[in-house]
């Protein structure tokens, strides 16, 4: 095992721990996401709810749920510090395992663009925090959804592609 691989693995393990710990806390908080007797979700706020529903949810939160949602959004910043560097580390670990120079370049690019996904997630949270404080959503909602979608595509692509290559290398190595 190379020194570089060991370093990426250590970063990956740390990031997985950070992401899992913060994800647990955020998941726990989500049980309090109720407005007017209806449950709402972060995924809905991010991707699936139309603008009018997001405005309605954020406008009708009681103080306790507003506080919990604010805590959730702030915990998400710590989650981001685990998930995006973790995906980058996984890409770089897979990069150390493949022989194709083309795949090495693709994995490096996928690792690097996790910074864009991270920036998109930060932007997403800043929008939600702003709207939580003042639930007036203008024309920026389309941009918001584009940023959120791009974040998900970049992160999931990096995770799935590098996981596939990493796991397929382990499978072929053990034969």
Residue pLDDT, tens place only, 44-61: 999 999 999 999 999 999
The sign of the CA dihedral 122, 128, 133, 135 is positive
Is this model's pTM higher than 0.85 or not? yes
Tell me how far apart the alpha carbons of residues 111 and 11 are, in angstroms, rounded to a whole number.
Answer: 13
Residue that is written with structure tokens 């709402």 in the block: 40
**Residue 148 pLDDT exceeds 90:** yes
Q: Report angle CA 91, 20, 170 to the nearest 5 degrees.
A: 35
Residue 170: band (very low, low, confident or very high) from pLDDT cuts 50, 70, 90: low
The set of long-range contacts for 55-62, using a CB threshold of 8 Å and a minimum separation of 24, is: 55/131, 55/135, 55/136, 55/137, 58/131, 58/132, 58/135, 59/135, 60/35, 60/36, 61/35, 61/132, 62/35
Mean pLDDT over 80-87 rounds to 98
Query: Mean pLDDT in the chain?
Result: 95
């Amino acid at each position: 095992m190379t020194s570089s691989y060991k370093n990426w693995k250590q970063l990956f393990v740390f990031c997985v721990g950070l992401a899992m710990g913060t994800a647990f806390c955020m998941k726990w908080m989500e049980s309090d996401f109720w407005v007017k007797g209806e449950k709402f979700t972060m995924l809905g706020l991010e991707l699936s709810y139309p603008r009018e529903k997001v405005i309605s949810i954020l406008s009708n939160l009681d103080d306790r749920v507003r506080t919990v949602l604010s805590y959730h959004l702030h915990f998400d910043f710590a989650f981001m510090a685990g998930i995006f560097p973790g995906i980058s580390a996984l890409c770089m670990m897979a990069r150390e395992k493949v022989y194709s120079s083309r795949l090495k370049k693709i994995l490096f690019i996928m690792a690097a663009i996790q910074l864009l996904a991270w920036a998109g997630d930060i932007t997403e949270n800043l929008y939600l925090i702003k709207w939580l404080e003042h639930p007036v959503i203008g024309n920026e909602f389309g941009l918001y959804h584009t940023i959120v979608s791009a974040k998900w595509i970049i992160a999931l692509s990096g995770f799935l592609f590098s996981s596939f290559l990493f796991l397929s290398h382990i499978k072929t190595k053990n034969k």
